[in-house]
Amino acid sequence: MAKATQGMKVVCENRKARHDYFIHETNEAGIELKGTEVKSLRAGKANLKDSFATITNGEVFLENMHISPYEQGNIFNHDPLRKRRLLLHKQEIAKLFQKTREKGFTLVPLKIYFKRGRAKVELALASGKHNYDKRQSLHEKAAKREVERALKERQRY
């Protein structure tokens, strides 16, 4: 097992983000969680669809991320769609703030995972794709698949 992936368990991924956005750079951030949210995450009960990050008063918040209530949590459960603070260094927040002020850039979470027992988010600085960009990337992916299939056929003989 590679050293970078050792002790890393992916909880959920936002595959649609890679289809809808151009990813320019990624950052790793911790998440401030409450109570039973950690147990729900460990059970894989999270959804990143339509989630995004905002920077307010020098802090980064993750919005619209859904973490289902823990089944055995009773009164200690949390609001599934609450804003969650992301843990980053001041310099990283300042750099992200500068870049998000540029036209068309946004912060999108790509995946949530556990690294050495701590919940982390892979946060991407992204810009939106137009429909023609999406079609072009689908065509490129299909062409690449065809080439790989042809090479595999050729190796068979």
Domains of the chain: 8-129 (2.40.280.10)
Q: What pLDDT is recorded for position 88?
A: 92
Residue 2: is its pLDDT beyond 60? no
3-state SS, residue 59: strand
What amino acid is encoded at 16 in this protein?
Answer: K
Q: What is the pLDDT of residues 109-147, one digit of tens each?
A: 999 999 988 899 999 998 887 877 778 888 888 898 998
